[in-house]
Amino acid sequence: VINEVDDKEEEMVSRPPVITIMGHVDHGKTSLLDAIRDARVVAGEAGGITQHIGAYQVTTDGGSVLSFLDTPGHAAFTSMRSRGAQVTDIVVLVVAADDAVMPQTVEAIAHAKAAGVPMIVAINKIDRPAANPTKVRTDLLQHEVVVEAMSGDVQDVEVSAVTGQGLDQLLEAIALQAEILELKANPNRAAQGAVIEAQLDVGRGPVATVLVQKGTLRQGDIFVVGEQYGKVRALINDKGERVKEAGPSVPVEVLGLNGTPEAGDVLNVTETEAQAREIAEYREKAAKDKRAAAGAA
């Protein structure tokens, strides 16, 4: 662990929740992510053309800021966790109201429970004539998910990604869950974050979308991320704007890497470039040795 400091209680400041949408294929994860983003951009931000950087932030009518991971599917969630990056605070479990609890719904429930992350159930496609939300709620009981409508403590909201029905209620349900969690981070320390996605961009070189988890990442910061290192040349937010810094729960594109890291890699700001390079090279060698050992076995 690099630059690990004990954050004092008085330095901790509340931070936005990070939300992952999970559920069975075709139940509407992508549609819901798009609907939430589009609705809030039209409502809140003048002329904002959002960029797909793997995560985005919205502000609810009640003034809460929420950070959504824009990578639906369970692979992202599990691979990030297996690499040691636990970024999700709340899982929104999408179940289509005209379908039922399906294998990937059950898988999503298992992932959320294993990670100890609270769930909110979004019963989607409520606009469909065949919608039967009661069946969804009853089905969920068999998987030990007891929603509020069934006198349990898991919030459930009926939504439609197509008509927009229930989206505001869903966002407020998330904000309420976040309040209960009392999420906090110290913004005044060397930044630590997790790579959400990364690629080699023709014009810009290696680009990583990093979700800052602790501290504040700034232009000019020196960092190590997985087996790569660099110095922040530019930070770009989810609206495509250049920003000087990004605090806890804020997703930003980071430019200035020497290579392309992997999703789930952890970014740490270091004091010196020599330190960053040394750690990156050590990790690269360790990974190589491990591969060689695996090959020899």
Tell which positions 32-91 bind ligand GDP, by CB under 6 A.
72
3 state SS of 248 = coil
Tell which positions 104-133 bind ligand GDP, by CB under 6 A.
124-125, 127-128
Q: Does position 160 bind ligand GDP by CB under 6 A?
A: yes
3 state SS of 34 = helix
- According to the annotation, is 27 in a ligand binding site? yes
The interface region with ligand GDP, picked from 24-32, 139-147, 198-206, 231-239 by CB under 6 A, is 24-32
The candidate with the shortest Cα–Cα distance to 77, out of 67, 65, 89, 66, is: 89
3 state SS of 289 = helix
Nearer to ligand GDP, 67 or 71 (CB): 71
Residue type at 233 in one-letter notation:
R
- According to the annotation, is 260 in a ligand binding site? no
Contact 189/218 with Cβ under 8 angstroms?
no
Q: Does position 177 bind ligand GDP by CB under 6 A?
A: no
Query: Which of 17, 28, 226, 247: binder of ligand GDP (CB under 6 A)?
Result: 28
* Number of chain residues interacting with ligand GDP (CB under 6 A): 16
Q: How far is the CB of 24 from ligand GDP (least distance, A)?
A: 7
144: Cβ contacts below 8 Å, ≥ 6 apart: none
- According to the annotation, is 25 in a ligand binding site? yes
CA distances from 76 to 95, 196, 218, 263 (A): 19, 8, 26, 8
Positions in the binding site for ligand GDP (CB under 6 A)? 23, 25-31, 72, 124-125, 127-128, 160-162
